[in-house]
Structure 1
Amino acid sequence: MQNWNELPEIMKNEKVKKYFKILNKQKKSLLGKRIFDFVVAVVLLLIVSFFMLIIAFLIKLDSRGKVFYKQTRVTKNGELFSIYKFRTMCENADQKGYLVTIDNDQRITKIGNILRKYRLDEVPQLLNIIKGDMTFVGTRPEVARYVNQYSDEMYATLLLPAGVTSLASIKFKNEQNLLNSSKDIEKTYMNTILPQKMKYNLEYLENYSFLGDMKILLVTLKAVLKKGD
């Protein structure tokens, strides 16, 4: 954990301080979390490297464009980073629609649908974890445009690195269903879905433990496998 005075000014408010004090007492556990992230990410990357080559080949075979998709997101302390994913949409999809996706999104490719179903598009985020931009369990990273609309309390989620999975991600794994019928997708996401997600994210910070992370990882694996049935 960094010192309170080292936080960006926008994060230094009383509501964030509550969560800062909680996490500051978990320094050893957070160090263990970082060691776990690094070691497991390196091992997994070695194991799935050949499989990643196959996915890359299928992506190139399926549609024109790059294999990997990079987008600027926000992580710990409000720092910007490039999140890595396998490309699941047509080339330049960001310029052809919203920053969130819905069911039957015409921008998603055939192989992209399969990768998203099993969350295989997120495998390249092992690189983000190794670099320290992300962690296995934590608040999913948002784009700066959404972060700039955070409430004071929401900024507490930036005390830790952005995560690949979280309790909020599990609870809202089918958030597209809520967006499908919306006339204003981004407004619905910001005003309805994001605040509900943040309740889970803040509860995670308030009750943080390394054991809790392990439980969330197991629940995530179960949810992904169930979705694939």
Structure 2
Amino acid sequence: MKRCFDFICSLIGVIILSPVLLIISILIVSDSPGGVFFRGVRVGKNGKDFRIFKFRSMRADCEGKGKWNVGDDDDRITKIGHFLRKTKVDELPQLFNVLIGDMSLVGPRPELRFYVEKYTNREMPILDLKPGITDWASMANFEQFKGFTAAVDPDEFYMECVRPLKIELQLYYRYHHNFFSDIYCIFYTVYKVVTHSQKLPKDIQKIVDEYSNGQQVNMGETV
């Protein structure tokens, strides 16, 4: 059922959004040299690599030539790229990944091989699922680019402040997801993008709070 739902919805999405996708494509190639799409390698289901579709928001061929995690002040970002990243519009081409079966609409966000190699045995079950365009970790870290911008080292900020909570929420999804929870996540994502609300569903907020309280305890013990 999930694959059928993904295929139909992504196909409808591509058709409906095709005028928008075309306009954005024109703006991208007019703004800077390079292609329309960024096609970086990510890790998918069962640990297999695939190439993700994103609208190119940075100068061509610059992934890995600097920090992996990018703040808004990174000079590799193009003029139109700032808008694409802040609004999450750069993620829309991943509908093509869903259409061909590399991704799902909802699932753990695809990760770089560099970070997957750091998975513990407890975290490996995340790879049992297809990666998704959205998930609860994305909702909890909706404006993480602000943290990357403020951080002295965005990669260190990701490892210490973003990734641990992201892993906990992805594990929660791994063991609790179902068809109806996926639909809820899709609608919640739309709500989040439109309103930029800080509110999260109760079960997700509980995980965030427990993680935050645990971090405070650990910091207290360190001091």
2:6 is equivalent to residue 44 of structure 1: no
- Maintained 8 Å contact 2:54/2:92: yes
Aligned to 1:35: 4
SS at match of 1:180: helix
Aligned to 1:126: 95
2:178 to 189, 203, 209: 209
Aligned to 2:74: 105
1:127-148: CA deviations, max 9, x gaps? 1001111001111001101100
SS at match of 2:110: coil
1:133-169: CA deviations, max 9, x gaps? 1001111001101100111111111111001000000
SS at match of 2:41: strand
Query: Structure 1-normalised TM-score?
Result: 0.81
1:68 to 9, 20, 37: 37
For 1:169 and 1:215, the matched residues in 2 are separated by: 14
For 1:68 and 1:103, the matched residues in 2 are separated by: 19
SS at match of 2:63: helix
2:116 is equivalent to residue 156 of structure 1: no
2:61 is equivalent to residue 83 of structure 1: no
- Maintained 8 Å contact 1:84/1:128: yes
- Maintained 8 Å contact 1:88/1:113: yes
Residues 9-20 of structure 1 aligned to structure 2 (within 5 Å): none
For 1:64 and 1:95, the matched residues in 2 are separated by: 19
Aligned to 1:117: 86
Query: 2:162 is matched by which residue type in structure 1?
Result: I
Unaligned runs of at least 5 residues, structure 2: 198-223
Residue 172 (structure 1) shift: 0.4
For 1:191 and 1:118, the matched residues in 2 are separated by: 25
Q: Which fold has the larger relative contact order, with Cα–Cα distance below 8 Å and residues 6 or more apart in sequence?
A: 1
- Maintained 8 Å contact 2:7/2:99: yes
- Maintained 8 Å contact 1:140/1:163: yes
For 1:40 and 1:160, the matched residues in 2 are separated by: 19
Residue 202 (structure 1) shift: 0.8
For 2:151 and 2:80, the matched residues in 1 are separated by: 26
2:50 is equivalent to residue 53 of structure 1: no
* Deviation larger for 193-202 or 107-116: 107-116
Aligned to 1:11: none
Aligned to 1:177: 146
For 1:181 and 1:123, the matched residues in 2 are separated by: 26
- Maintained 8 Å contact 2:72/2:82: no
Query: 1:130 is matched by which residue type in structure 2?
Result: L
For 1:178 and 1:52, the matched residues in 2 are separated by: 28
Query: Structure 2-normalised TM-score?
Result: 0.83
* Deviation larger for 159-168 or 90-99: 90-99
Unaligned runs of at least 5 residues, structure 1: 1-31
SS at match of 1:94: coil
Q: Kindly report the root-mean-square deviation, in angstroms, between the aligned alpha carbons of the 2 structures.
A: 1.6
Residue 118 (structure 1) shift: 2.1
Q: Percent identity?
A: 38
